[in-house]
Amino acid sequence: MDEFDLNYEELYATFIADAKEDIAALEAGLLALEETPNDAELRRELLRHAHTLKGNASCVGFDSFAAFAHTYEAQLESADALDIPALLNGIDTFRKMLGVAQAFQPAAPGGRSENLPYTSTLRLAVEKLDRMLDLAGEIAILRGRVQQIISARGDDLLVEVERQIDQLQRELQELIMRARMVPVGPLFRQYARTVRDLASAHGKNARLVTRGEDVELDTTAVELLRDPLTHMIRNAIDHGIELPEVRAANGKSPIGTITLDARHEAGTITIRISDDGAGLDRGAIAARARSLGMDDSDRLIFEPGFTTSSEVTDMSGRGVGMDVVRRAIESLRGSIAIETSEGRGTTFTLRLPLTLAMIDGFGVAAGDETWIVPMEHVVECVELPDGESRDDTTGVLLLRDEIVPWVRLRKLFEIGGDTPSRENVLVVQHGGARAGFVVDELHGAGQAVIKPLGNYFEAIPGIAGSSILGSGRVALILDTATIVRNLEMRGAA
């Protein structure tokens, strides 16, 4: 395994720490399931934990553990009514196996072998961090009110104290945000084993090279990237890397290389997944596109159900995959691009925001309501020309020779009240197309802490989340891409 230049000890320690958490979560879930046996969501969660255990174990080559996790998963999946006592016995078996594993863990250089490498860090539930951020945000809002009172009184001493509190508060908020960031190294390293094993299962040779392991990413993003990265790596091995003799014949090293590279670029995190394989099969994509009646483009591979494989392998070819990847990346407010060169390989470039907790937004208002539009989509603001109807929900305007369709948020969201005589248009861009959002007022750009709308509502189309304004009121964050897409669908119907 030396050729992979990996720190297996560290990988192993991560596995054991993660496995302990998954086992504990499984156990707690089983106990909860005894109370509510029909909770489908809970069962899915149990399955996820068992699946993670299996995957992680096979990553570190702990095959007996993986095999047991596999049968465990099957038990969770098959029966209608779960045999909870038997499953709880299984939990004990997991723990015993893990105990044995820990005892045989590769020795650390200092000779400390019986325990995990210990550093002065602790594991913290992300919810706790979120709550801290909530409270910091609340303090900021209350401080706004205090500031108003103080400035009304004109007490210089108080103003100075307030200024210092302000600074400390900002620092605190910044620290909490930074605490959510974790290095991508452990995530990347998990794939080393995947690459090797999958390649050899297909009679290929491949190795993983990782770069930028210290680059930090929001912890939620790391979790949500796990599956998309797995998909892309599987694809790279299945479709990209050629058989050793083919590679040799083309003057390439018989061992294929898959590279995971993370770096900071222009206020975003960029992750590249590249292989030095054959590149996308353009002919197959074009043929498939024609048979589906779609336009030919490399981006087609991101469409649902798109596959060029005539046969389904255990790895890929089912046509699920790249569209799932694209959606996962979009849900992280990121984007995905593809670059491919025949005979030289394929590179996927993921661009992700630095943090998921904050958003650069543009505030707009109609009536009593304020909304936040993600800044990345905002192109410009113009006044709605006189003579445009004041009652319609949608319309078009001419913007420097370009016809731009618009939607009036007041009508779309049924705010009621009278449309003012002057209105503004916030122009956004998605893909190549522009669209306008007609509002009463433009409040300008600012940073906003993102809050989920809560579990009471399911995902509401067109709403990406919420944020709390300086006034203490809640403002909804608009998912302009979905709003525009829905309007286009209605228009087409």
Here the tokens at position 299 are 């981006």
The only residue of 315, 462, 464, 477 in contact with other proteins, by rule CB under 8 A: 462
In this complex, which beta carbon is closest to other proteins, that of residue 122 or of residue 492? 492
Binding mask 422-461 for other proteins (x = CB under 8 A): -----------------------------xxxxxxxxxxx
The number of residues that bind other proteins (CB under 8 A) is 44
Please return the burial class of 89, using the count of CB atoms within 10 Å of its CB with bins 0-12, 13-18 and 19+. exposed
* Cβ(343)–Cβ(250) below 8 Å: yes
In this complex, which beta carbon is closest to other proteins, that of residue 340 or of residue 480? 480
- Calculate ∠ Cα 241-247-248, nearest 5°: 155
Positive or negative: CA dihedral 147, 150, 152, 154: negative
Q: Which of residues 396-425 bind other proteins (CB under 8 A)?
A: 412-415
Here the tokens at position 80 are 């209608």
- Residue 425: which residues within 8 A CB-CB, separation 6 or more? 381, 382, 383, 384, 397, 404, 406, 436, 437, 438, 439
Helices (H), 236-360: 244-249, 282-292, 322-331
Q: Is 58 helix (H, G, I), strand (E, B) or coil?
A: helix
> What is the nearest approach in angstroms of other proteins to the Cβ of residue 474?
4
Note whether 120 binds other proteins by CB under 8 A. Answer: no
The side-by-side arrangement of strands in the sheet containing 402-408 is: 378-383, 424-430, 433-439, 402-408, 394-399
Note whether 468 binds other proteins by CB under 8 A. Answer: yes
In this complex, which beta carbon is closest to other proteins, that of residue 42 or of residue 324? 42
Binding mask 323-362 for other proteins (x = CB under 8 A): ----------------------------------------
Note whether 30 binds other proteins by CB under 8 A. Answer: no
Scanning the structure block, which residue is given the tokens 């394989």?
Answer: 277
* Residue 382 bridge partners (DSSP): 425
**For the chain, what percentages of helix, strand and coil (3-state, to nearest 5) are there?**
45, 25, 30
Note whether 135 binds other proteins by CB under 8 A. Answer: yes
Binding mask 31-70 for other proteins (x = CB under 8 A): -x--xx--x-xx----------------------------
Q: How many Cα atoms within 13 Å fall on the side-chain side of residue 476?
A: 17
The only residue of 137, 185, 240, 345 in contact with other proteins, by rule CB under 8 A: 137
> What is the nearest approach in angstroms of other proteins to the Cβ of residue 312?
31
> What is the nearest approach in angstroms of other proteins to the Cβ of residue 34?
12
Note whether 473 binds other proteins by CB under 8 A. Answer: yes
Note whether 486 binds other proteins by CB under 8 A. Answer: yes
> What is the nearest approach in angstroms of other proteins to the Cβ of residue 478?
10
In this complex, which beta carbon is closest to other proteins, that of residue 43 or of residue 226? 43
* Residue 434 bridge partners (DSSP): 429
CA distance 365 to 424: 10
> What is the nearest approach in angstroms of other proteins to the Cβ of residue 164?
23
> What is the nearest approach in angstroms of other proteins to the Cβ of residue 454?
5
In this complex, which beta carbon is closest to other proteins, that of residue 41 or of residue 114? 41
**H/E element holding 134?**
helix 126-153
In this complex, which beta carbon is closest to other proteins, that of residue 343 or of residue 452? 452
Q: Kindly list the distances between the CA atom of residue 193 and the CA atoms of 12, 21, 109, 374, in Å, as whole numbers in the listed order.
A: 12, 22, 23, 39
Note whether 490 binds other proteins by CB under 8 A. Answer: yes
Rg (the chain; Cα; Å): 27
In this complex, which beta carbon is closest to other proteins, that of residue 137 or of residue 345? 137
> What is the nearest approach in angstroms of other proteins to the Cβ of residue 184?
29
Of 201-209, 301-309, 397-405, 464-472, which part binds other proteins (CB under 8 A)?
464-472
CA distance 438 to 404: 12
In this complex, which beta carbon is closest to other proteins, that of residue 118 or of residue 457? 457
- Judged by the rule CB under 8 A, the positions of this chain that interact with other proteins are 32, 35-36, 39, 41-42, 131, 134-135, 137-138, 368-369, 393-394, 412-415, 451-463, 466, 468, 472-476, 486-487, 489-491
